[in-house]
Amino acid sequence: MPKTGERVWKAGELAARTGLTVRTLHHYDAIGLLSPSGRTGSAHGPGHRLYTAADLARLQQILSLKQLGFGLDEVREYLSRDDYDPRRVVRLHLARVTGQADELRKLADRLAALADALDKAEAVSADDFLNTVREITMVEQYYTQEQLEQLAARKEQVGQARVDEVQAEWPRLMAEVQSAMDARTDPADPKAQALARRWFGLVAEFTGGDPGIFKSLKKMYETEDKVHDMDVKAMRPMMEWVGQAAAAAGIELPG
Amino acid sequence: MPKTGERVWKAGELAARTGLTVRTLHHYDAIGLLSPSGRTGSAHGPGHRLYTAADLARLQQILSLKQLGFGLDEVREYLSRDDYDPRRVVRLHLARVTGQADELRKLADRLAALADALDKAEAVSADDFLNTVREITMVEQYYTQEQLEQLAARKEQVGQARVDEVQAEWPRLMAEVQSAMDARTDPADPKAQALARRWFGLVAEFTGGDPGIFKSLKKMYETEDKVHDMDVKAMRPMMEWVGQAAAAAGIELPG
DNA sequence: CTTGAACCTCACGCCGCGTCAGGGTGTACC
DNA sequence: GGTACACCCTGACGCGGCGTGAGGTTCAAG
C-alpha cells in the first residue's frame, strides 16, 4: 500500500537496477523475504508488483547480507529481529566461511599434486590416472581431518631424522618376521614375542598411542593392497602372526 | 552375477567399510554409478544387493574421484570412457576449484573487515550493523570482478600519491562547481566548460577511460546516497549541471 | 518356526533460483 | 475504441547428493 503519488517500481525495473532477475524477486516474495508494498489493481488476475522506496532499501540490505554469504533465511532473521548480537553472528559466519575456504584450498593442493604427478609421467593411461588419484586421496580416506593434524604435529615433534630411521627399519623388521615365519617359529616363542614388541613399538611411534589413529591405520592396511609403494597385501599374514605373538607377550594394543 | 563361491558383501557391510551410508549406495545404484553385480534370490520383492570385489574396487575409484571434488556424473564419465586426457581434465578442474577457493577467501576477507569494524565501534545496533555491512559490500555490487582488478591495477600504476591528490582535489572542485551554480552561471559559459573539463578529467583518471567502469561508477552514484562518506546525493544536481557543461564543451564521455 | 536386525522400494525435502508453459496487463499508437 | 506488443503474472518441474521417514520383505540365528 504505497502512498498515492509515491514513486514506485515494477519488478522489471527493480531487476534492472539491482542486476537480479524478475524470477528472483518472485522467489523473495514467495519465501516472505521481500514482498512488494503494493500491486496494480487488475480486473481478473493478481496485479503487477509495485515496490516502494522502502522496499528498495530493504532489497539493498538483503543483497548486502547475501553478498556476505548468508543464507536467505538467515537474512530474513537478521532483518526482522534486532535482538541478536551482530558481532557474534559475523564471527560465527566468518568461522564457517574460513573453514570452507580451507577445505577448498586443501582440495586445490591435492589437485595440484595430482597435476604434477601426471606431468612427470610421459604417457598417462586411464589406469595410470586412476592409480595416481588413488595414491593421492588414499590417506584422506582413512584418517579424519583431526587425525591428520595430530600426525603432522607428531612428525614435527619427533623430527624428520627419526621418521627416516623408522622408514628404514620397517623392511628389516619385516624380513626378520618373514624368516621367523618361514622357520615355523611359534608365535608364543620368546623370539617371536621380541619381534612383536619391536613391531608394535614402531607402530606406536607412528600413532603416538592414539587409539583412533591406530584403528584408522589398521583399517587402511586391511583394506588397501598397496600403501606408499609398500606391499601391504603381503604384510597381512605377518600382521596376523605378529598379532598372535603380541597376545602371547601380553602387549596391550591401543585398539 | 558373481561367480558361485566368490566373496560378496551386502550393502551394510560395504557402507561400514567405506564410511558411506546404505542410502548412498542405493543412490549410486539408482543413478547407474555403481550397481551391485548380484542380488539374493527372493520370493516376492527384489533381493538384497550383493557386491563383488570388482564392485568394491570400482567404489574405491569413485570415492577417490569424489574426494577430488568431481561431480558424480563426471566420475561416471571418467570410469566409463578412457578416451579423454586426464591432464586436461585435472587442470580444468583445478582451475575451477582454485576459482572457488579465491571467491571464498575474498568473502572471508570481507567478513574479517566487517568483524574488525564492528569491534571498533562500542555499541552496535542492528542499524549500525546493516550500515557497516552496506559500506563493505557496496563496491562489489556495482563493479564486476574484472573491473575491480582493472581498478586495482590502475591504482598500482598511478601510485598512491596521485590517488591522494585526486581525493583531495574533489572537494575543492565540488565547492567551485557549487558556487558557480549558486551564481547561476550558464553551463555553456566558458568557465563552466573549464570546470567540466577538470571534472571529467578526474573521472577519467579514475576509470582509465574504460566505458564499463564509467557506467558502473555512474550507476553507483545515481543509486547510492553515500559512497565512502561522500554525500553523493548532494552531488547529483552538480552532476547534471556539469553534464550540460560538458555537452556544451563537446567533451566526449566514455559511456 | 519365530524373532529381530538388516534389507528393500517409493517419495518428499533441501537451497536458490533457472526455465518453460499458458495466460493476463499496461501503455502507445492508430 | 481497438490492437499491438512488451511486460507482467502464477504454477510446476529441475538441479546435486543424498537425509529421512514410511511401510513392507528377507536373511540368519536360535
pLDDT tens digit string along A65-89?
999 999 999 999 999 987 888 888 9
* pLDDT for the residue numbered A24: 98
Kindly tell me if the per-residue pLDDT of B75 is higher than 90. Answer: yes
Strand D reaches within 7 A of the B66 CB: yes
Same domain, B24 and B74: yes
Long-range contacts of B153-161 (CB under 8 A, 24+ apart): B154/B208, B158/B205
Distance CA A213, CA A204 (A): 10
Residues B26 and B29: their CA atoms lie apart, in Å, by: 5
Q: Which of B80, B95, B122 is the last residue of a domain?
A: B80
Give the strand pairing for A49-51 and A9-10: antiparallel
Contacts of A122 by beta carbon, 8 Å cutoff, 6+ apart: none
Residue A102 falls inside a structural domain: yes
Band of pLDDT at residue B173, cut at 50, 70 and 90: very high
- Report yes or no on B74 lying in a domain: yes
How many C-beta neighbours within 10 Å does residue A233 have? 12
Domain shared by A76 and A110, yes or no: no
- Which of A20, A90, A114, A116 is best to mutate for the B interface (most B CBs within 10 A)? A90
CB within 8 Å of chain B, chain A residues 58-117:
60-61, 63-65, 67-69, 78, 82, 84-87, 90-91, 93-94, 97-98, 100-101, 104-105, 107-108, 110-112, 114-115
Task: Say if residue A72 is in the same domain as residue A18.
Answer: yes
Query: What is the arithmetic mean of pLDDT over B50-73?
Result: 95
- Evaluate whether residue B255 is within a structural domain: no
Sequence-ordered strand ranges (E) for chain B: 9-10, 38-39, 49-51, 226-227, 230-231
- Of all nucleotides, the one whose C1′ comes closest to residue B74's CA is D16
* One domain, residues A48 and A105: no
pLDDT at B33: 97
**What domain range includes position B217?**
156-249
Asked whether residue A189 is assigned to any structural domain, the reply reads yes
% of residues, chain B, pLDDT over 70: 99
- At residue A5, the 3 state secondary structure works out as coil
The maximal CA–CA distance of chain A, rounded, in angstroms, is 102
Question: A217 and A125 share a domain?
Answer: no
Q: Same domain, yes or no, for B17 and B98?
A: no
Q: Considering the domain boundaries, does residue B254 fall inside one? A: no
Of the three residues A101, A135, A169, the one that is the final residue of a domain is: A135
Residues of B in contact with A64 (CB under 8 A): 130, 133-134, 136-138, 141
B103 and B177 fall within a common domain: no
B145 in contact with A at a CB cutoff of 8 Å?
no
Protein-contacted bases of chain D (C-beta within 7 A):
7-10, 16-20, 24-27
CA atoms within 13 A on the CB side of A47: 13
For B50, phi then psi, to 5°, come to: -120, 120
Say if residue B228 is in the same domain as residue B176. Answer: yes
Residue A3 lies in a domain: no
Classify residue B159 as left (phi > 0), alpha (psi -120 to 50) or beta.
Answer: left
The total domain count for chain B is 3
Last residue of a domain, one of B80, B108, B143: B80
Sign of CA pseudo-dihedral A90, A91, A95, A98: positive
Is B198 contained in some domain? yes
How is residue A213 written as a grid cell? 589413529
Closest nucleotide to B41: CA versus each C1': D26
Give the model's pLDDT for residue B177: 95
| Residue A103 falls inside a structural domain | yes
* Same structural domain, B243 and B164: yes
Q: Provide residues 236-255 of B with CB closer than 7 Å to any strand C atom.
A: none
Question: CA(B33)–C1'(C9) in Å?
Answer: 18
B179 vs A125, residue with greater confidence: B179
**What chain B residue is nearest to A138 in terms of C-alpha separation?**
B64
Distances (CA, A) of A79 to A58, A246, B114, B121: 8, 64, 17, 20
Size of chain B in residues: 255
Do A184 and A239 have their domain in common?
yes
pLDDT digit string (tens) for chain A, length 255 residues = 777 778 899 999 999 999 999 999 999 999 999 999 999 987 788 899 999 999 999 999 999 999 999 999 999 999 998 788 888 899 999 999 999 999 999 999 999 999 998 888 877 788 888 888 888 888 887 887 788 888 889 889 889 999 999 989 999 999 999 999 999 999 999 999 999 999 999 999 999 888 888 988 888 888 788 888 788 888 989 998 999 999 998 888 876
Distance CA(A102)–CA(A152), nearest Å, equals 16
Residue B2 has pLDDT above 90, yes or no: no
Q: Count, in order, helices (H) and strands (E) of chain A.
A: 10, 5
Q: Do A107 and B97 touch (CB under 8 A)?
A: yes
pLDDT at B255: 64
Judge if B96 and B59 occupy the same domain.
no
